[in-house]
Each structure stands twice: as C-alpha cells, then as structure tokens.
Amino acid sequence: MTDEPTNEPHMAIKVVMMPRDTNPHGTIFGGVILSYIDQAGAVGAYYEIRKAGYERKPIVTVGMKSVEFHRPVFVGDVLSFWTTVVHVGKTSITMHVDVESERNGQVEKLTEAEVTYVAIESTGEERRPVQIKDN
C-alpha cells in the first residue's frame, strides 16, 4: 500500500456539449454540468483510491458544495473535467472538480465544485458506510 492520494490533477472525463443540453437562454443547462461534475468526481476518486493502493469499494455521492459557474458553456464546447483530492477521511473522499474548455486558443475555467463521496457496503436494500482505507 502506498501513501495518501496525491494532489496532482487528473483528467477524469472529457465531453462535447450537445444541442439537447441547452436551456431556454441558449447555453448549456447547469444541471447537465452538475451531472458531469458528479461523474468526474467519482472517476477521479476511484483513480486516487486505486493509485493509493486502497481496496476499491462502491462509493455514493453525499454532498456537493462550493459550486461556482464562472462562465457560460456553449453547444460545441469540449469540456475537460480535472479532479484533485481535497480530503480522504475514514469513510469519505472529497474531490475538487475544475471544468475547463479551450476557446480561441486559451484554456478557460468555466465551473468548479467540491464533491464528497462515501464508501459503502450493500446487503440487500441496506447500505452502510465502510472504511476507504485500512488505517
């Protein structure tokens, strides 16, 4: 087993924004971005858990905070979702997600958020938190 997960950015997912995802204002609906942030955070969390040598367990989203929409997202934007570890607790992992797009040759930060996931064990319909790491 290795040390704690590092704070190096990880490209979790990359997505092209499509016309079906627009709101009445012609930009991409914020809920669509939130859904991708949640997915990217989970992908990044699993990456960090694996990299640290911890056993992979199912994780579920328990909270999203500090969501900031800095700039609008447009149809055709190719979004990159970068994740970094904020904190690894006994049963939880919190990830910071940065959403960027390249526009006119410049990388622009569009959105950012913090998402917390809890490792769980399922028995039937019952779910309970379990330790992410052994120590």
Which residue spans within 30-129 are E strands per DSSP? 59-69, 78-88, 92-103, 106-123, 126-129
pLDDT digits (tens, 9 = 90+) for 9-36: 999 999 999 999 999 999 999 999 999 9
- On the question of pLDDT at 5 being above 70, the answer is no
Tell me which residue of 130, 64, 51 sits closest to 97, measured CA to CA.
64
- Does 50 or 134 have the greater pLDDT score? 50
Please state the domain count of the chain.
1
Structure tokens at 10: 């990880």
Domain that holds residue 52: 10-129
Question: What pLDDT score does 124 carry?
Answer: 85
Residue 24 lies in a domain: yes
Question: What pLDDT score does 40 carry?
Answer: 98
Residue 1 lies in a domain: no
> What is the pLDDT of the chain when averaged over all its residues?
93
34 torsion bin: left (phi>0), alpha (psi -120 to 50), beta (else): alpha
Residue 134 lies in a domain: no
Could you tell me the CATH number of the domain that includes residue 104?
3.10.129.10
Question: What pLDDT score does 133 carry?
Answer: 81
Residue 40 lies in a domain: yes
**94 - beta bridge partners?**
87, 116
Residue 135 lies in a domain: no
